[in-house]
A and B are shown apart, each in its own frame.
Chain A
Amino acid sequence: MLRNPLRGVLNMKLGIFALQGAFLEHRLAFEKLGVRTVEIRRRAHFTDGLDGIVLPGGESTVQGKLLREEGLLYPVKEAIESGLPVFGTCAGLILLADRLSNDGNVYFGVLRATVKRNAYGRQLGSFRTDLTVRGVGEFPAVFIRAPYIEETGAEVLASVGGKAVAVRQDKILATAFHPELTDDLRVHSYFCDIVRGKV
């Protein structure tokens, strides 16, 4: 794909899962980078021609349930396993993980990681911190009732207190924090680079 310095990433189209949560924030971030986005709410919206997909923050129990009821779990899992790039934040990380340490559910199960839900406790445990994300640099990370990764076979891009909070496995990018809640577009831009096979 061509990159036009003024218009951003040309011809890239990402599907943003819009079942519940902060999907609009992701759309706006990608649109600022010049990426076209479409919302996926139904099975019929998950079509060919997407260069990548995004799983936003929100409540993983709600999103997982709606994905299951809509018959989206299997086709999306298959597409990710066939190499469709995916970017998941917070609830998105939980949906991608192949094991949850404090919850019996597994959703897509494509990311080699054991994830702990609500790992920092309730809302009083939510926090913001600057951390170094490999491939991105210093980044303001916002954690909202966030999970962390207890163990993973994926490449760890960032950690907090010894726990992985950003990982990459081939074309899967997942963070426990919310880059979509800041004005900093570098993690989104990094995902575009993954989609284009640049990194």
Chain B
Amino acid sequence: MANDRFELNKNLAQMLKGGVIMDVTTPEQAKIAEEAGACAVMALERIPADIRAAGGVSRMSDPKMIKGIQNAVSIPVMAKCRIGHIAEAQILQAIEIDYIDESEVLSPADDVYHINKNKFDVPFVCGAKDLGEALRRIAEGAAMIRTKGEPGTGDVVQAVRHMRIMQSEIRKVVTMTEDELFEAAKTLRVPYELVKFVHENGNLPVVNFAAGGVATPADGALMMQLGAEGVFVGSGIFKSGNPAKRARAIVQAVTNFENPKILAELSEDLGEAMVGINEQEIALLMAERGK
């Protein structure tokens, strides 16, 4: 049964592929996102750019606010809990959330342990900067992986870096001889079976999305070309001049990521993009939380 649950949870992520998951803070935003073609929404009180600006400890959102969003849309609803915060995750499961993001965007509750996600029935998505992190999260029960990017910045450079590292490490594992896999498991600090899976299949055992800093249709297309199977957009939409139009454009860009002509049309006249912060200007690197 437990194994069945993990398969079903992996399967839900498969259904999200080729889609865009959008951060929303109100039922109204959730509806805009759904109408624009979001394949799921992430319900949170403050989008990452505002969390970054506000500073202080950031926590799981108010369940009442999340329920409001669940009632507003028919697509899957995700919500974030703090890294290692078992009780927050239990609360989100109790309100029947479709996916929990154990997220570095919130303040970590545990600086050593992640949640043992195998103990839950609802699925988890976790961030990863490289193959080792991804496989460690999967061993803990994550049914979906995303890059960590640098949330709330509108700067895609870290998401690109994480995706590049991940893909390059996957390729390396694929070319290894069988004896080398044991050593790889040791250096990556992950179970041998997971390394073996990557070696045999050339991909992670779960779906892998891009997240962090995606702000334009071109950013979405870039991440898809680098091997992402779908895209999370956080602050990029509702921090921009025309959220509905930008959201629609990013959705179409993710479907047509290999078609520059269409991408050119989609990039026209979208209004103000979020201002963003360059990587070098950031005081707090959220991606460094939880390895």
Contacts and interface: CB of A to CB of B under 8 A. Distances in A.
Interface of A: 18-25, 41-42, 57-59, 61-62, 65-66, 69, 90-91, 102-103, 117-118, 121-124, 126-128, 142, 144-145, 178, 181
B96 A25 contact: no
Nearest to B40: A59
A21 B39 CA distance: 9
Q: Which 6 A-B pairs have the closest CB atoms?
A: A123-B98, A20-B18, A59-B39, A126-B8, A22-B14, A122-B96
Interface string B82-97: 0000000000010011
A69 B19 contact: no
A103 B74 contact: yes
Contacts of A124: 93, 96, 121-122
A117 B18 contact: no
A21 B76 contact: no
A118 B74 contact: yes
Given A58-B39, A124-B96, A142 B255 contact: no
12 contacts: A21-B17, A22-B17, A42-B262, A58-B15, A58-B17, A61-B75, A90-B15, A121-B96, A123-B76, A123-B96, A126-B8, A126-B12
A105 to B, nearest CB: 10
A121 B97 CA distance: 11
Contacts of B255: 18-20, 41, 66
B133 interface: no
B9 interface: yes
Interface residues of B, number: 36
Given A19-B18, A90-B15, A123-B98, A66 B75 contact: no
A59 B39 CA distance: 6
Given A66-B37, A144-B8, A122 B98 contact: yes
B4 interface: yes
A22 B81 CA distance: 27
Contacts of A178: 11
A41 B256 contact: yes
B143 to A, nearest CB: 10
A61 B74 contact: yes
Interface of B: 4, 7-9, 11-12, 14-19, 34-35, 37-40, 70, 74-76, 93, 96-99, 121-123, 251-252, 255-256, 259, 262
Contacts of B252: 66, 69
Contacts of B38: 62
A144 B15 contact: yes
A92 B251 CA distance: 19
A5 to B, nearest CB: 28
B251 to A, nearest CB: 7
A127 B251 CA distance: 29
Nearest to A142: B11
Given A20-B39, A123-B122, A145 B98 contact: yes
A128 B11 CA distance: 11
A144 B122 CA distance: 12
A27 to B, nearest CB: 12
B99 to A, nearest CB: 7
B82 to A, nearest CB: 21
Given A22-B15, A123-B99, A65 B9 contact: no
B117 to A, nearest CB: 14
Contact of B123 (A21, A103, A123): A123
A6 B151 CA distance: 51
B138 to A, nearest CB: 18
B15 A62 contact: no
A21 B18 contact: yes
A150 to B, nearest CB: 16
A144 B145 CA distance: 19
A61 B256 contact: no
Nearest to B73: A61
A62 B8 contact: no
A19 B75 CA distance: 16
A124 to B, nearest CB: 5
Contact of A18 (B18, B76, B96, B123): B18
A160 to B, nearest CB: 15
B8 to A, nearest CB: 5
Nearest to A25: B14
Contacts of B15: 21-22, 57-59, 90-91, 144-145
A199 to B, nearest CB: 28
Contacts of B251: 62, 65-66
